[in-house]
Amino acid sequence: MTQSPVLLEITKAFAGPVATVLAVFLVSVLGLRAFRAQKALERRLEWYERAYALLDETAEFYSQWPSYAESQSPEAKARLDESMKAANALRDHLGRSWLYADQDAHEAVESLRDNIHEAHERMLQSGHVLPAEVKRIIVSCTITSLRLSIGIRKQLALPPLKPTSTKAAG
C-alpha cells in the first residue's frame, strides 16, 4: 500500500499552516484566560485596598466624632457630615464584599456592618453620641482592617508577617 506522491506533497504543504493556526488558537485561548485571571485579581485587590483605606478614614472620623457632636461650630458640623459620608461610603463599599472578599474577610465585614448599624441605632435612640458605641465602632474598624490585611496577603500569596519589636535600637 503505497501513498501517492501528490497526496504526500499536499499533506506537507498544509501541515505547517494548520499547525500554526492551531498553535495561535491555543496560545490566544490560554493568554485570554491568564489575562482574565489577572484582571480578576486586580479588581479583588482594588476592593481590599479601598476597603482598608475607608476603614482607616472611618475610624479616624469616629475617633473625633464626640467632639464634633458636642460642638455648635459650623466646622464641627461639617466634619460630622463628612464622617457620616465616610461611614456611608464604607457601608456601600463593604456591601460588595460578597463579590471580592474571602470568607474570613466577608465575615469581618458583615460583623462590622452589624456593629455600626447597632451603634447608630442606640445613638439615635438616646439622642446623642455615646462614647462606648463610638469606641465599639473604632475597635470593629481596627479588627476588620487586620482581617482584611490577612485577606490581601493571601491574595498575593505573601507569607504571614512576624511580630516586630517596637523597642528602639540602642
Measuring CA to CA, which residue among 11, 18, 83 is closest to residue 54? 83
Residue 170's pLDDT band (cuts 50, 70, 90): very low
Residue ranges per structural domain of the chain: 43-155
Each residue of 137-168: pLDDT tens digit? Answer: 888 888 888 888 887 888 788 887 787 766 65
pTM of the model: 0.67
| CA-angle at 16, arms to 15 and 18, nearest 5° | 65
Residue 134 has pLDDT above 50, yes or no: yes
Residue 19 has pLDDT above 80, yes or no: yes
